[in-house]
Every structure is written in C-alpha cells, then in structure tokens.
C-alpha cells in the first residue's frame, strides 16, 4: 500500500512539517485526464497519462467505449484518511489509485477551482479563499462571494459577474457535446463559489447521501439524443465538516467515510448494466486536513494590531492556515520581521521570491501579488493563528474548529485519485 512519506515533495527551509507543492503530479490534471476518455483533446503536460500508463485500472478504462464520467469529490479526505477509513475501495488501490498533490493554498476555493477548471491557481486566478480583487478594490471571500464589510450581500446578488475575474477558459467550452451536471449539497447550489467556477448554473441540490447517489443513478441512466456523453461531478462536503469538528483522526470521520462508500457502491451495483459498462468512475479529494493543538495556537491581540500592525499592514486575507498579508509601502521587511518573531518555529513567512515554488513559473508577478499579497504566513504542524480572539469557537462543548487546512503539511497536500470501471468497484 501507499506510503505517504514516499510521495515526492521538497521540504521548505529543511523543515519536516512544511513542503512545497508538487507542481507536476497534482490535482489540476484530474479533469483533463478524465475528459480525455470522452475524446476531449489536451496537451500531454496537462494530463496524468504518463503516470497512469502502467496502472491496470487505467488500461481497462482505455479499452472501453466510455460515454459517462462520474467524478466524486470528497472534501478534505487526505490520502492517509482514505487508506485508513475506506473499507472496500482501498482494496483496488494498487492498480486503481495514484496519490496526487493538492495546490497552494490547500483551501476549498482554490482546490475545487483547480479540479473543475483543470488549471493551476496561477492560471485560473482563484488564489485563495479571502483574497484581494482589484476589480472592486476589496477582499472577497471566494467561497461565499461576500466582500469585506458587505453586510451579508453577495457580489452576485448585486449584479457582479465574477466569471469575468477568472484568468482561464472553461474546459468544456460553450457548445459542448458533453452534458455537464453537478450534484452539490442543497445549501451550496448555484451560489457562492459555484458562480465562479461553473460555466452555467447546472447544479442540482441534494439533502442526504442517499438522495445524492439516487440522483446520480437517475442522471446517468437518463438518455439524451443530443448529448450522449455526460460529465457528472458530485461534491461531498460532509467529510470536511466532520474533520473540522472531530479531527481527521476521529471515529466520526471513519463512520462518515464508511457510510458514503457503502451507499455509493450500492448505487453503482444497481446501475443499469448497459450504462455501467460505459461509465468511468473517478474518486478524488481536493486537499487533506491538519489537527490543531492548543499549545500551538498563536493569538495576535487587539492591542498588537492597533499598536504594531496598523502601521505596517494595508490589508489581510486568509486561506485557513495561510494568512495573506498586504504590506504598506516600504513596510514589507518590518512586517516580515514582526511575524517571524511572533511565530517562532510555529510557521514560516514567505515573500514573492518564493511564489514560483508555491504556484509555478512567474508567480511573483504583479497580477498574483495584487490578489494574494506580498507576504504569506504559512503555519506548521498543528499550528493556528488568530487575530483579536482566542479561536475557541465553542468553549462549552468543544464542537468548534479542531482541525483545518490551507497550509503545506503532508496531511494537507497528499490526496487520493482513484480511477476505475464500475465492475472493478463492485466486485
């Protein structure tokens, strides 16, 4: 089975808890690889085919006449948790799974955009969760599409077309012969991030795992004379929510994964055999998760903000365990020194010189720095950083934030990528 420590990652500053992302073997290549089975053409460097050519599971898919692609995205289920909690799917991992790297930052906005658009963040422009957009001159939460101090009114409700803020095209194109459908939890349907990364409002909501996979079966079995090929994306966010609250090491997460896997495989087993024969299944995660420890918690007090940081800092964004800082003119070095002293060994501070190793070639350009900031705080193992409050969101029951992501630990970076025929999954 897979050894997470054998995955090729380069240490940052010789630390054993933080690593640069693997810019080749990563989640940006999942969608182009999957769509190649539907005869969509992409350059070799945008796909994973050279890494898959010796995998039996991939060879079987190439031998079939695939008409349906099903992509199941399990939010925050890192490779380690997948191998620990999967009861059946992990049995075919050696022949049907390839460990992949997430992207920087390992936050849902950037990672889901990377998977759906088939491009790295430096190419699609969603460089984090709470980042700066010069288009409106403000920090925007890319998950909710709420701007800072917007009083709860989303940008799309105000008539802003955020798709114009993307830096890349959509992978299917406007006149596609492929029907694209998404299944997403009810509360997320056709709002927030979906408005950013999906070309059309083509998502269908679901209320439970049973509802989700029953709907998937109906979608796959529905015939369409105009669009015979289908791409069905299924997003499951409950794995992320469970991990945040109970940590990735919890029994609760194991129950959640077992439940999802059981219902999903039952759906595949009930699928019309003629449809199943033409369906390729991909199971992926966008990123992993890192448990938080109280002794690794750092708090920037309100006094420190007003007395020290207000003179150094123009704006602040965030992607979980990564803080995006925008220094005032001429204050970058002083800002870096302040946070290096504050963090100690709990994290590192990086400036644009390091951006190409985080994001790719030429990532230290003006366009990236405008959105991401010119100083990045990257937290190490089990560490967290809060501004003006303790970070203890539920002091009575401890049902708050006990694990999160965004940073560059192995737990956050390394994810599973399963590719299979239906038959191989239900044997």
**Mean pLDDT in the chain?**
95
| CATH number 3.40.50.1580 is the correct assignment for the domain at 294-401 | no
pLDDT at residue 427 is higher than 90: no
pLDDT at residue 52 is higher than 70: yes
Contact between 285 and 83 (Cβ < 8 Å): no
Encoding tokens for residue 41?
């053409």
pLDDT at residue 2 is higher than 90: no
Per-residue confidence at 106, pLDDT binned at 50, 70, 90? Answer: very high
The proportion of the chain whose per-residue pLDDT surpasses 90, expressed as a percent, equals 86
Is the model more confident about 227 or about 14?
14
pLDDT in tens, 55-85: 999 999 999 999 999 999 999 999 999 999 9
Per-residue confidence at 190, pLDDT binned at 50, 70, 90? Answer: confident
**Where do we find the tokens 């044997």?**
427
- Average pLDDT, integer, range 393-397: 89
Of the candidates 384, 222, 392, 224, the residue with the CA atom closest to the CA atom of residue 289:
384
Contact between 138 and 132 (Cβ < 8 Å): yes
The greatest distance separating any two alpha carbons of the chain, rounded to the nearest whole angstrom, comes to 68
Contacts of 132 (CB under 8 A, 6+ apart): 138, 139, 140, 315, 317, 324, 326, 370, 371, 372, 373
In sequence order, what are the beta bridge partners of 205?
184
84-91 long-range Cβ contacts below 8 angstroms, 24+ apart: 84/254, 85/253, 85/254, 85/257, 85/258, 86/257, 86/261, 87/258, 87/261, 87/262, 88/261, 88/265, 88/425, 89/261, 89/265, 89/283, 89/418, 89/425, 90/1
41-50 long-range Cβ contacts below 8 angstroms, 24+ apart: 42/118, 46/118, 48/98, 48/100, 48/417
Count of CB atoms situated within 10 Å of the CB of 60: 17
pLDDT at residue 194 is higher than 90: no
Contact between 289 and 405 (Cβ < 8 Å): yes
DSSP state of 128: -
Quick one: pLDDT at residue 173?
A: 72
pLDDT in tens, 167-182: 999 888 766 789 999 9
Quick one: pLDDT at residue 200?
A: 72
Is the model more confident about 321 or about 1?
321
Quick one: pLDDT at residue 284?
A: 99
Contact between 248 and 197 (Cβ < 8 Å): no
Domain ranges of the chain: 4-126+166-290+409-426, 294-401
Quick one: pLDDT at residue 382?
A: 98
Quick one: pLDDT at residue 1?
A: 61
How buried is 370 (Cβ within 10 angstroms: 0-12 exposed, 13-18 middle, 19+ buried)?
Answer: middle
DSSP state of 351: -
pLDDT in tens, 249-296: 999 999 999 999 999 999 999 999 999 999 999 999 999 999 999 999
Encoding tokens for residue 100?
């992949």
68: left (phi over 0), alpha (psi -120 to 50) or beta: beta
d(CA 165, CA 334): 32
Residue 371 has phi, psi (to 5 degrees) of -85, -40
> Is it true that the peptide bond before 105 is cis, omega within 30 degrees of 0?
yes
pLDDT at residue 120 is higher than 80: yes
pLDDT in tens, 209-251: 999 999 999 999 998 878 789 999 999 999 999 999 999 999 9
pLDDT in tens, 351-383: 999 999 999 999 999 999 999 999 999 999 999
Quick one: pLDDT at residue 166?
A: 96
Residue 178 has phi, psi (to 5 degrees) of -105, 125
Indicate the helix (H) or strand (E) that contains 327. Answer: strand 322-327
pLDDT at residue 191 is higher than 70: yes
DSSP state of 328: P
The proportion of the chain whose per-residue pLDDT surpasses 70, expressed as a percent, equals 99
Residue 59 has phi, psi (to 5 degrees) of -60, -40
Quick one: pLDDT at residue 86?
A: 98
Quick one: pLDDT at residue 95?
A: 97
Quick one: pLDDT at residue 175?
A: 60
CATH hierarchy code of domain 4-126+166-290+409-426: 3.40.720.10
d(CA 261, CA 194): 25
Contact between 357 and 419 (Cβ < 8 Å): no
Classify 73 as helix, strand or coil. Answer: strand
Contact between 352 and 374 (Cβ < 8 Å): yes
Quick one: pLDDT at residue 375?
A: 99
Encoding tokens for residue 281?
């299944």
pLDDT at residue 201 is higher than 90: no
């Amino acid at each position: 089975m897979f050894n997470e420590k054998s995955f090729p990652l380069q240490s940052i500053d010789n630390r054993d808890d933080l690593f640069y992302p693997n810019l080749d073997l990563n989640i940006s290549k999942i969608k182009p690889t999957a769509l190649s089975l539907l005869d969509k053409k992409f350059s070799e460097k945008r796909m994973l085919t050279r890494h898959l050519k010796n995998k039996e599971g991939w060879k079987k898919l190439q031998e079939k006449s695939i008409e349906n692609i099903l992509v199941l995205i399990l939010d925050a289920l890192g490779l380690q948790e997948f191998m620990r909690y999967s009861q059946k799917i992990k049995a075919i991992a050696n022949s049907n799974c390839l460990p992949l790297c997430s992207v920087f930052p390992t936050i849902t906005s950037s990672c889901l955009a990377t998977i759906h658009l088939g491009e790295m963040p430096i190419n699609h422009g969603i460089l984090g969760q709470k980042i700066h957009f010069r288009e409106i001159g403000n920090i925007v939460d890319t998950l909710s599409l709420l701007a800072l101090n917007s009083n709860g009114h989303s940008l799309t409700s105000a008539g802003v077309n955020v798709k114009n803020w993307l830096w890349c095209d959509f992978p299917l194109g406007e006149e596609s012969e492929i029907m694209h459908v998404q299944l997403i939890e009810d509360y997320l349907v056709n709002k927030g991030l979906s408005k950013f990364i999906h070309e059309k409002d083509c998502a269908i909501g679901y209320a439970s795992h049973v509802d989700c996979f029953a709907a998937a079966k109906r979608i796959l079995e529905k015939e369409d004379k105009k669009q015979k090929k289908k791409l069905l994306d299924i997003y499951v966010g409950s794995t992320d929510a469970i991990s945040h609250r109970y940590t990735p090491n919890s029994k609760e997460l194991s129950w959640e994964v077992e439940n999802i896997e059981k219902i999903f495989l039952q759906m595949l087993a009930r699928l019309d055999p003629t449809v199943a024969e033409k369906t390729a299944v991909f199971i992926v995660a966008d990123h992993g998760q890192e448990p938080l420890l109280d002794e690794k918690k750092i708090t920037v007090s309100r006094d420190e903000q007003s007395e020290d940081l207000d003179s150094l800092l123009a704006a602040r964004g965030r992607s979980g365990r990564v803080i995006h800082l925008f220094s005032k003119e001429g204050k970058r070095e002083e800002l870096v020194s302040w946070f290096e002293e504050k963090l100690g060994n709990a994290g590192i501070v990086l400036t644009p010189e390091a951006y190409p190793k985080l994001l790719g070639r030429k990532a230290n350009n003006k366009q990236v720095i405008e959105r991401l900031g010119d100083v990045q705080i990257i937290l190490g193992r089990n560490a967290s950083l809060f501004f003006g409050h303790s970070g203890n969101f539920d002091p009575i029951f401890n049902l708050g934030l006990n694990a999160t992501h965004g940073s560059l630990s192995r737990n956050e970076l390394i994810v599973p990528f399963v590719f299979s025929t239906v038959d191989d999954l239900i044997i």
